[in-house]
Amino acid sequence: MTAAKRSTETTRHQSFEDGERRFLYLLFKRIRGAKRQFFLHSDIQDLISEVSSEAGDDLPEGSQLLANLKGVMSAAHRDPWLVVEFRQSIGRWYHGRFHLDDLSFEEIPVNDFLAFRESLVCDNGSADEWPIEFNAQPFLHDVPIMREKRQIGRGVEYLNRTLSHRLFSSAEKRVQTLFDFLQIHHHRGRQLMLSDRIQTPAELQQAIEGAEEFLADQPDDKLWKDIRAELNSLGLEVGWGDTVARVRETVNLLSEIIDSPNPSDIEEFLGRIPMIFSVVIFSPHGYFGQSNVLGLPDTGGQVVYILDQVRALEKEMRERLESQGLDTEPDILVVTRQIPDAKETGCDVKEESINGTRNARIIRVPFTEESGEVVPQWISRFKVWPYLERFTIDSERAILAELGNKPDLIIGNYSDGNLVATLLAERLGVTQCNIAHALEKTKYLFSDLYWKENEEDYHFSAHFTADLLAMNAADFIITSTYQEIAGNASSVGQYESYSSFTMPGLFRVPKGIDVFDPKFNIVSPGADEEVYFPHTDQENRITGLKKEIDTLLFGDFPGAVSQFKDPDKPIIFLMSRLDKVKNVTGFVEWYAKNDRLRELANVFVIGGNTDFDQSSDSEEKEQIRILYDLIERHNLRGQLRWVPKQSDKVFNGELYRVLADRKGVFVQPALFEAFGLTVIEAMTSGLPTFATIFGGPLEIIEDGKSGFHIDPNHGEDVAEKLADFFARCQEDPDHWNQVSQGGIERVEAHYTWRLYASRLMSLSRIYGFWKFVSNLDRARSRAYEQLFYRSVFRPIVDKMS
């Protein structure tokens, strides 16, 4: 069962010593007693703890068996077998089965593990002998796969190192490759970098030597236009730089790479080549707009993220193009669906300029029925699948009309956007980047195994198939955190959950995605610095909003529920969509049951609708009902105030700061939060933040230093932690300042859009380059994915229509 004892080719048997056997006997007795088929990691760990305390010294803490059992991520039981999956460490899995009577163990192939699970949920009690399989394993030989868990999410660095050794092994090869690559660049009919005067790699080398000689004694600040004629005569076209200094550096870099390539020079050189002029960003579902959309079902952080991303990207692209010597405006389109019944959101408008940019715009393309009829109403993200193919074709037409050419990069957002990006990138032959924001698979227990039971509401059959296809097709994937890819020592990453799974009756996935694939890169978003900044930055504060904010907090505000009895107490602030997973109601219950906390602080909630009849979303309705019930049952009026969603972000930015002035805190109690933009908004405003350990916040916050971690499964402890914090701050007001400052510094150092945009632009170039010069275009797997799309995905979607 240990790594050393295992081999990938053969299955191993293992028998146990006496102490271990007694331990296993007790454990299996409990498993049988539980009369359940499936056990989660936490179930198994609870049983192990129970048995450990009973078994006494039989199995000491350092025991290898215990260590292995701690890695059991799930188990399935049917007598006499307990079939388990072990996560030996991040991203490393193996499977095995215990015989509950003779207490033996044997390792089994992943397929047997999946088949056993299938047999437990199939009507006839046995798995399909010939299921359809999605298996990415054979194609992983086409790419260099990383080995160390610390490399996960830093794919581009690995790729640069590995491929530069592999492909650039001789000077001859290097010049040929770079010659081939530099020749292909042009923009709107204009040739860039090399002209057709240079016909061979040898001529490229001569041109570089000639340019180096010429540039050596030119003044640094001389402009491209004044050296163009000389460089043109050598065969160099615009793109090398805007000034002599810049052109010289770029030419020198190229000669360095030819002489002795090193990964950082390659990255630096590629960053200077004009490759990205236009970007298309897909975000099909939900209300995508700039006013009155936030807080609506399915419309939250993704919209905030994309709008901020576009502003930062446009700036970065413009700066890069300028420094390359080109006076071209970058073009960014956000393509979303047009919703004719858009209420007050403006999402029925076909085109909208994006505020804070010169040229970027939202293009809205409607969903249509097969008959061609336009779908007028908003459709939940779980039900958009039948519309996406037609949406892709219609979007393609709109994009080509807008840009006059194909884009240089397509970015998908969320499962639906990533599928559309896959289809269009394939059709146009463009580099594809995926961003998930949140993958649904880990949010719902056994969502794969019990997909049929959830089909009517969630359509996981289509959703997870789309995810698999899009993540395999993407040239690169960016994530906000490490945990999004690969979790941490004790929890499985969102992408990692697609490594192997089964949807009985649909298909089996022995290998869905490998988290060691270098396509994964962590590029964290930020919070718009013009809107969210520290409360201590008095100069930029929007004092004119004071009266409105006072009314929101304490006055007669439309839709507000309850007024604070003691408005001087510090405020615990929560703001999110009113989804179940955000767990606002969970928090209210913990607060309600802790008298000490109720004494020390008030609670202020912004979220959803406070009028049940105004909500159109069933999940939100349920949360509204629960929240009212809690307020009445625990007599919370006077201590808790609740107002409907607020979508003016400038106002919200000032609100965070006002609450920080009042020495409040922010709480994000979600059952799972993929990243958590509100967490960084609150932190950067200086509000000490208490946020869930499940998801991004675990990584964003360093517990006790830049905020606090809270475990939503232990609400009593959360309430105590908050009460302790407020009590301590009463005694030592500096404690509040320290945590507040810690949060501000953390965001400044790691979560800014400037860093993000520069990284994303570098990645797009580097992946584009390696795709061009190596077999990273994954042609074989693309053919397989296309077949899977047509023969599996389409029929699933046809059934939905």
Residues that bind ligand LCN (CB under 6 A): 301-302, 305, 437-438, 480, 673-677, 696
CB of 131 or CB of 696, closer to ligand LCN = 696
Contact segment (CB under 6 A) with ligand UDP among 6-14, 298-306, 326-334, 780-788 equals 298-306
User: Quick check: bond before 795 cis, omega within 30?
Assistant: no
Q: CA–CA separation, 224 vs 250, rounded Å?
A: 13
CA 293 to chain centre: 21
Smallest distance from ligand LCN to CB 671, Å: 12
Identify the residue whose tokens are 């520069």: 758
Q: CA–CA separation, 378 vs 375, rounded Å?
A: 8
Q: What is the DSSP string of 565-583?
A: SSTTS-EEEEE----GGG-
Distance in Å from the first CA to the final CA of the chain: 47
Q: Is 240 in the site for ligand UDP (CB under 6 A)?
A: no
Q: CA–CA separation, 187 vs 405, rounded Å?
A: 10
Q: Is 243 in the site for ligand UDP (CB under 6 A)?
A: no
Binding-site partner at residue 577 among ligand LCN, ligand UDP, none, CB < 5 to 8 Å by type: ligand UDP
Binding-site partner at residue 519 among ligand LCN, ligand UDP, none, CB < 5 to 8 Å by type: none
* Subset of residues 562 to 591 that bind ligand UDP, contact rule: CB under 6 A: 575-577
Smallest distance from ligand UDP to CB 654, Å: 12
Provide the edge-to-edge strand list for the sheet that holds 351-353: 351-353, 361-366, 331-338, 278-282, 409-413, 431-435, 476-479, 520-522
Binding-site member from 677, 691, 719, 723 for ligand UDP (CB under 6 A): 677
Residues 6+ apart with CB under 8 A from 728: 735
Q: CA–CA separation, 573 vs 581, rounded Å?
A: 17
Smallest distance from ligand UDP to CB 493, Å: 18
Smallest distance from ligand LCN to CB 525, Å: 6
Q: Which residues pair with residue 703 across a beta bridge?
A: 707
CB 148 within 8 A of CB 156: no
Q: Is 304 in the site for ligand UDP (CB under 6 A)?
A: yes
CA 245 to chain centre: 39
Q: Is 712 in the site for ligand UDP (CB under 6 A)?
A: no
Question: Closest residue to ligand UDP, Cβ-based?
Answer: 300
Helices 224-234 and 244-259, packing angle to 10 deg: 40
Smallest distance from ligand UDP to CB 733, Å: 28
Residue 247 exposed, middle or buried by CB count within 10 Å (0-12, 13-18, 19+): buried
Q: Is 649 in the site for ligand UDP (CB under 6 A)?
A: yes
Burial letters for 537-546: b for 16+ Cβ neighbours within 10 Å, e otherwise?
Answer: eeeebeeebe
Q: Is 647 in the site for ligand UDP (CB under 6 A)?
A: yes
CB of 412 or CB of 768, closer to ligand UDP = 412
Binding-site partner at residue 774 among ligand UDP, ligand LCN, none, CB < 5 to 8 Å by type: none
CB of 98 or CB of 382, closer to ligand UDP = 382
Over the window 184 to 213, marking each residue x when it contacts ligand UDP by CB under 6 A and - when it does not, the resulting string is ------------------------------
Residue 334: other Cβ atoms inside 10 A: 24
* Subset of residues 607 to 646 that bind ligand UDP, contact rule: CB under 6 A: 607, 645-646
CB of 480 or CB of 491, closer to ligand UDP = 480
CB of 588 or CB of 677, closer to ligand UDP = 677
Binding-site partner at residue 294 among ligand LCN, ligand UDP, none, CB < 5 to 8 Å by type: ligand UDP
CB of 471 or CB of 719, closer to ligand LCN = 471
Q: Which residues pair with residue 574 across a beta bridge?
A: 605
Q: Is 241 in the site for ligand UDP (CB under 6 A)?
A: no
Smallest distance from ligand LCN to CB 294, Å: 12
Q: Is 697 in the site for ligand UDP (CB under 6 A)?
A: no
CA atoms within 13 A on the CB side of 320: 25
Closest CA to 83 of 50, 52, 105, 51: 105
Smallest distance from ligand UDP to CB 132, Å: 33
The two tokens of residue 570 are 């510090």
Q: Is 692 in the site for ligand UDP (CB under 6 A)?
A: no
SS3 state at 500: coil
Binding-site member from 96, 286, 300, 325 for ligand UDP (CB under 6 A): 300
User: Could you tell me whether strands 38-40 and 72-78 are parallel, antiparallel, or unpaired per DSSP bridges?
Assistant: antiparallel
CB of 174 or CB of 577, closer to ligand LCN = 577
Binding-site partner at residue 606 among ligand UDP, ligand LCN, none, CB < 5 to 8 Å by type: ligand UDP
Q: Which residues pair with residue 479 across a beta bridge?
A: 522
Letter for the amino acid at 199? Q
Binding-site member from 301, 526, 707, 742 for ligand UDP (CB under 6 A): 301
Binding-site partner at residue 646 among ligand UDP, ligand LCN, none, CB < 5 to 8 Å by type: ligand UDP
Q: Is 672 in the site for ligand UDP (CB under 6 A)?
A: no
CB 543 within 8 A of CB 654: no
Contact segment (CB under 6 A) with ligand UDP among 205-213, 453-461, 565-573, 670-678 equals 670-678
CB of 300 or CB of 510, closer to ligand UDP = 300
Q: Which residues pair with residue 640 across a beta bridge?
A: 603, 637
Q: CA–CA separation, 604 vs 655, rounded Å?
A: 11
Binding-site partner at residue 331 among ligand LCN, ligand UDP, none, CB < 5 to 8 Å by type: none
Letter for the amino acid at 785? E
SS3 state at 52: helix
CB of 305 or CB of 460, closer to ligand LCN = 305
Smallest distance from ligand LCN to CB 600, Å: 29
Smallest distance from ligand LCN to CB 499, Å: 22
Letter for the amino acid at 80? P
φ, ψ of residue 740 to 5 degrees: the values are: -60, -50
CB of 300 or CB of 688, closer to ligand UDP = 300
Binding-site member from 399, 561, 606, 723 for ligand UDP (CB under 6 A): 606
Give me Rg for the CA atoms of the chain.
Answer: 29
Burial letters for 457-481: b for 16+ Cβ neighbours within 10 Å, e otherwise?
Answer: ebbbbbbbbbbbbbbbbbbbbbbbb
Question: Closest residue to ligand LCN, Cβ-based?
Answer: 301
How many residues belong to the site for ligand UDP (CB under 6 A)? 21
Three-class HEC string of 703-767: ECCCEEEECCCCHHHHHHHHHHHHHHHHHCHHHHHHHHHHHHHHHHHHCCHHHHHHHHHHHHHHH
Eight-class DSSP state of 80: T
Smallest distance from ligand LCN to CB 83, Å: 33
Residues found near ligand UDP in the complex (CB under 6 A): 294-295, 300-302, 304, 575-577, 606-607, 645-647, 649, 652, 675-678, 681
